Amino acid sequence: MGDAKIEALVICTSAVPQIKKWSLVKVLMGKLLRRAGGRPEFHFPAGGTPEEVDYYGTLAQVDAAKKAGVGHIVLVSSMGGTDRTNFLNTIARQPSGVGGDILVWKRKSEKYIAASGVPYTIIHPGGLIDEPGGKRHIVAGINDDLIKRPVRNIPRDDVAAVCVQALLSPGARNRAFDIITDPVGEGAPTSDWPAFFGKIAGLAAYDYSIDPGEPPAAFPNGLPKK
């Protein structure tokens, strides 16, 4: 990170699955023949699994930030980390059990940040959508309670706004919380950020004792040195 003073770090990195094109053919043929064709299948590119990106990659960023004297880390993670059976954890999971569990690996990195000693804010957005921000009421919660709602998405722009405002709000420090938005027109768009983070400060502490279990590791001793 060089010699410049870095006051804060926002971590938005995430493993990104890629679709297996041949699996689309299987799905389309199933539809043409009016048979169950299954779902599309995915894989993570080499070096881009959740274990490598969402766990070890995040740990490397946190360690570098701590060494550089960064005063605040904001992590964009994901809702669903309390539930090992969440569908997202099955994406690209290999027969051996490794390769998937993206939400579980994210949660492991969150625990590392919370124990790092660096002031932190951990944000768990719901499903990300590409719609304009600043037009919806942002709802906050903890421990995946918001997953029970029938609609649980949030524009990417609104997640970015929460990240920026978290850097400016003392009430956001050492907090982990979930966020979604109400549909446009339901509730006033969130703009009073001191009030928003005041509500966050009034929530119970996020419960990291809810344990989804240990994910199978392809690199139990850490990533190989390059």
Q: Would you name the residues annotated as active-site residues?
A: 78
Task: Identify which of 133, 177, 183 has the alpha carbon closest to the alpha carbon of residue 153.
Answer: 183
Helix (H, G, I), strand (E, B) or coil at 202: helix
SS (H, E, C) 95-106: CCCCCCCHHHHH
The letter for the amino acid at 96 is S
CA–chain centroid gap for 140, Å, is 15
d(CA 212, CA 85): 9
**Measuring CA to CA, how many Å separate 115 from each of 112, 154, 159, 185, 199?**
5, 28, 24, 40, 24
